[in-house]
Amino acid sequence: MKDHFVNPTEKDLSDAESASKGYDNPSFQHDEDLEQSDQLKTKKKTKENKPEKKVVGVFELFRYADWLDILLMVVGLIAAAANGTGLPLMIIVFGDMTNSFVLSGVNSNASKDTSVNSSICPSIPGIDIEAEMTKFAYYYVGIGFAVLILSMIQVWTFLVAATRQSARIRQKFFFAVLHQEMAWFDSTQIGTLNTRLTDDINTIHEGIGDKICIFVQFFATFLAGIIIGFIHGWKLTLVILSVSPLLAASAAVWSTLLASLTAKELSAYAKAGAVAEEILTAIRTVVAFNGQQKALAKYDANLELARSVGVKKSITTNVSLGVSQFLIFGSYALAFWYGTKLTAEEKENYDIGHVLIVFFSVLVGAFSLGQAAPNLESVSNARGAAYEVYRIINKKRLIDSSSKEGYKPDKLIGEIEFRNIHFSYPSRPDVKILKGLNLKVQTGKTIALVGASGCGKSTSVQLLQRFYDPDQGEVTLDGQDIRALNVKWLRENIGIVSQEPVLFATTIAENIRYGREDISDAEIEKAAKEANAFDFISRLPDKFNTMVGERGAQLSGGQKQRIAIARALARNPKILLLDEATSALDTQSESIVQAALDKARTGRTTIVIAHRLSTIRTADTIAAFEKGIVVEQGTHSELMLQKGVYYSLVMQQGCSNNVQDDDASEEDEKTEDEEHEENDRSDFVEEQTLQDHSEELVVSGRNSIRRRSSRYKSKRCSSKKKSSEKKKKKEVEEENLPAVPYSRILALNKPEWLYVLLGVIAAAISGGVHPAFAVIFGKIIGAFQETDAEKRSKNTLVLSLMFLLLGVITLVAYIIQGFMFGKSGEILTMRLRSLSFRALLQQEIGWYDDQKNAVGILLTRLATDASQVKGATGSRLGLMTMTVFTLLTAIIIAFVYGWQLTLLILACIPFVIATNAASVSSVSGHAAKDQKALEEAGRISTESVENIRTVASLTREEAFYEKYVTSLNGPYRDSLTKAPFYGFTYGVAQSANYFVNAAVFRFGAWLIAHCLSNFESVFIYECWSICFPGTRLW
């Protein structure tokens, strides 16, 4: 069996590819057609034609399950269904026992007017109480062991299946995102994608995991209870079930509303995540322009919407639970009134035993249905979350870089031609960028594209890389339309250096290796030398193994640009694209980089987009763009004589060129020591914070950054040593962070103390209802021992009305809880997210250079940590309060009715609590470990998606995909390892109640036999344990 547990991360990429193309489900293909057609319509019309479907079907949730997952789930469902029959079977045992005991008690009462406090202790004719109770106790123990084994199997199998499926979904989603065409990214908020990878897929995992089998377990209990009820008394069962349509209707309405609200909530949080990603990615710019407050306000605005929806969700859930509890208590009132009537009118078919079996069976079934509801909520949440995730996975890609289709020429000459190109970006179809572009680039020659901003220069380069396809016309390479070529092959033969080079958070060597995977170390050094980068790299302490930081933050602009050039040269491309590669550099860096570029373009077909025209005077051809077409073409001298567009541009830059020339002369007089000083920036970037960046901004007015590093030279060794020691100390501190006291968490909710207080009071009232029910039920059993039929009917009527009163109290208490805890919990979540984001904005810039503080990791924490804290103060606080007050009320009532049996139950409580606590701690510890492991995956996904154009141009989608998959292996293996243990702890928690019941039965028999208690008191205890086995410290 172990051999079949293949890590889904090791499956062939073709699985992810085929799934992402949308062949699995035609309905998703239809959704995609709608989306693509909507791009060509106005915003208003898009809203009108928006697809109505916002959730996937229940079975669609499991569309990415393989045969092993299906087998595991089938085994789990069978185990869950069998497990669900445990409680109804115990009720039959309990009913048979009660029937004989109570009837004997009636006979005893009829013959003698005695009580438990009488001097004479009557015996029950024909019954050995202790022997009978021992037999029933053994039945309980047997059922308990069966429940233990079945519970472990059902949870273990579903957790393993869910872990495998969620890992597969993460991979397919990330694979689909990496291979989308650029037009899709233009109309998609990048930040929402990271949220989908964390929050949404976590929600899907919860919805397809053990919550499913637990739901089936409770539902099986419901069905078994109903069947047993019909067998032992169909009339009474029908009366009790008369409220079922109302229960079903309320559950259906609740499920629909919840799925809709969940989708809205996830969408709001996704927008907030997108804002946070946008701001944290550009944190240096935000800080430089003092935009922290504006950024925080923008983030809070999206959180406010999510808060509003979250409160509605909480109210909806609690109203539904309150209504269901009211209807259930109403059915109890009806059942005992009608049951009393049947025992009087149909004595041959109905006695106290049958009434109790029917009542308890339907009662347990109803409560099980109520306990199943929260698990159904998880499924509903998963359906809402899966809609967008699955839609993206199955989106048909117009330009697919993962496709194996397309022609791959054996030899590339490098002749490029644009023929009558018309183009507008899909996100802005009404704005024409190219309007009949015709341009030819000779092989091995350099052509420079010049013109005003927005005239189509960079667009032409993107068309050549097939980031987009032209609306009309064709781009040819060696006479072949590039749309007929394999996309990956095309991009692999093109090297590009852009204005703002993108380096990834790894070493210099790995960044260069992204240019070509199979490059050797010697070839890396050669590429670095060709890019004029070898000298400064050699002076770094770790040389090519130096970490460049997120987005290359540890290096200067010129250094990053030279590494980007080396990366482009690593693949020895036949075509080289230089998109304003020096426009963002100071004069000295520009001269160094320009020299590298001049060397790089030798012998290659090169297209240069230039901002500074002085850098392209030596180009073989210069093409001047205006309004989306080439208006003139020639050499520098020829175009200057024509005095057209190019001549005007040169004249406009005349003054600035003179200034630049003067600055260049000054810089050329500097010695190489200044470049050494510039390179020291890499070693001391943690000490250089906002002050250094501000200094750069001030000096950049003259296009020359004066870096002062003399203050670092004398401290270089000591600073590095202190920095290393500080870093190690910080890592140890982070690994041993103490748990935050619960009182501190509650203190965060202090402004909402009134909401919390009222919610706690309502929860306490709800908790007190359950013991009150047990007392009323015990009194009803006592009423059945009454021989006078009229008096018995009157007593049961009064007690039945008390059931109805409990239902009203429960309904009101649940509604108050939902609003109060929903309000306080959602406000706390918003406050924590806002405070966390504010704290991030207040960090020094050097803090972001730490690998542990990468944008992806920070976004993952923002998305999950606050929600986890909310769980401790919102609905979880309500559940804890209900449990505590239930236990306190039950203990007080128990001591009133018999201290001996109460002491036994109190002795069992630590065992029940310990089993549940072990189950909770195993799950929470597992979740925390998974969360930490997934932070690295979040960093990888954010980095790659944020820089998708660079990833696509380098054709490194598969490399980042494999990197992401590798980061998932750790939590995946841990989840598989933890699943059996979680199943065992859940099984122990489920079966503990049976073992406690066995002990209570046996000891109760001894007390009755020795005249230390009576049937009514024992039945109160037993009613409590049967009716509310789910009341535990979860």
- pLDDT tens across 418-473, in order? 999 899 888 888 888 888 889 888 888 889 898 888 788 888 888 998 899 898 89
Using one digit for the tens of pLDDT, what is the confidence trace for 723-772? 444 444 554 444 455 666 667 777 777 787 888 888 888 888 888 888 88
Distances (CA, A) of 783 to 121, 320, 805, 895, 1019: 21, 33, 19, 22, 13
Instruction: List the structure tokens of 665.
Output: 């002369």
pTM: 0.65
As a whole number of angstroms, the distance between CA 528 and CA 712 comes to 27
- Pairing mode, if any, of strands 621-626 and 605-609? unpaired
Q: Is the pLDDT of residue 717 over 50?
A: no
Predicted local distance difference test score (pLDDT) of residue 228:
92
* DSSP assignments along 703-735, one per residue: T------HHHHTTHHHHHHHHHHHHHHHHHHHH
Q: Mark out the alpha helices in 179-200 (DSSP H runs).
A: 182-186, 190-195
Q: What does the alpha-carbon distance between residue 759 and residue 877 come to, in Å, rounded to a whole number?
A: 9
| CA–CA dist 170, 475 (Å, integer) | 36
* Closest CA relative to residue 91, chosen from 370, 359, 367: 359
The whole-number pLDDT of residue 119 equals 36
| CB-based contacts of 712-716 (< 8 A; 24+ apart in sequence) | 712/680, 712/683, 712/684, 712/687, 713/677, 713/680, 716/680, 716/683, 716/684
pLDDT surpassing 70 at residue 353:
yes
User: Would you say residue 537 has pLDDT above 70?
Assistant: yes
Supply the pLDDT for residue 683.
41
Q: What is residue 589's predicted lDDT score, i.e. its pLDDT?
A: 65
Instruction: Identify the H or E element spanning 860.
Output: helix 855-873
- Given this model, what pLDDT does residue 1025 score? 56
pLDDT at 684: 36
- pLDDT of 702 strictly over 60: no
- Per-residue pLDDT band for 77 (boundaries 50, 70, 90) equals very high
Yes or no: say if 421 and 434 are a contact pair by the CB < 8 Å rule. yes
DSSP one-letter code for 738: P
Residue 42 pLDDT exceeds 60: no
Asked whether the beta carbons of 323 and 811 are under 8 A apart, the reply is: yes
Q: Which residue did the predictor score with more confidence, 1002 or 670?
A: 1002
Q: Cα separation of 456 and 631, whole Å?
A: 12
Residue 72 has pLDDT above 90, yes or no: yes
Phi, psi of 919 (to 5 degrees): -65, -45
pLDDT in tens, 629-642: 888 888 888 888 88
SS3 labels along 920-938? HHHHHHHHHHHHHHHHHHH
Burial of residue 876 (CB within 10 Å: 0-12, 13-18, 19+) is middle
Joined together, the tokens standing for residue 957 give 């989608």
- H/E element, 7: none
pLDDT at 706 over 70: no
Residue range(s) of every CATH 3.40.50.300 domain in the chain:
442-458+493-656
Measure the CA–CA gap between 682 and 705, rounded to whole angstroms: 16
Which tens digits make up the pLDDT trace of 120-143? 455 555 556 677 778 888 888 999
Could you give the CA distance from residue 177 to residue 652 in angstroms, rounded to a whole number? Answer: 43
Mean pLDDT of 229-233: 88
- Of the chain, the percentage scoring pLDDT greater than 70 comes to 76
- Residue 385: its pLDDT value, please? 86
Q: What are 382's two structure tokens?
A: 């998963």
Q: Give the model's pLDDT for residue 670.
A: 38
Q: Is the model's pLDDT at 188 over the cut of 90?
A: no
Q: How far apart are CA 174 and CA 420, in angstroms?
A: 36
- The CA distance from 1024 to 1017, in Å, is 11
Tell me the pLDDT band of 22, cut-offs 50, 70 and 90. Answer: very low
- Residue 693: the pLDDT is 37
Is the pLDDT confidence value at 1006 over 50? yes
Q: Which residue has the higher pLDDT, 531 or 581?
A: 531
| pLDDT at residue 716 tops 70 | no
CATH superfamily of this structure's domain 442-458+493-656: P-loop containing nucleotide triphosphate hydrolases (3.40.50.300)
Element housing 110 (H / E): helix 86-111
CATH fold of the domain at 13-113+122-398+752-1027? ABC transporter transmembrane region fold (1.20.1560)
pLDDT given at position 146: 93
- Is residue 922 within 8 A of residue 982, CB to CB? The reply is yes
Selected residue with higher pLDDT from 912 and 53: 912
Let me know: does 11 contact 962? Beta carbons within 8 Å. Answer: no
Whether the predicted pLDDT of 81 surpasses 90: yes
Alpha helices in 586-707 (DSSP H): 587-600, 636-642, 645-652, 654-668, 672-679, 690-699
Residue-level pLDDT at 196: 78
Round the average pLDDT of the chain to a whole number and report it. 75
Find the mean pLDDT for residues 992-1020: 76
**Which whole-number Å values give the CA distances from 248 to 143, 197, 341, in the listed order?**
30, 34, 28
Q: What is the pLDDT of residues 85-108, one digit of tens each?
A: 998 998 888 777 776 666 555 555
Check pLDDT > 70 for residue 701: no
Tokens for 770, please give them. 């359950």
What whole-number distance in Å separates Cα of residue 325 and Cα of residue 254?
A: 14
The number of beta carbons lying within 10 Å of the beta carbon of residue 583 is: 14
Q: What is the pLDDT of residue 5?
A: 36
Q: Is 472 helix (H, G, I), strand (E, B) or coil?
A: strand
**Residue type at 125 in one-letter notation:** P
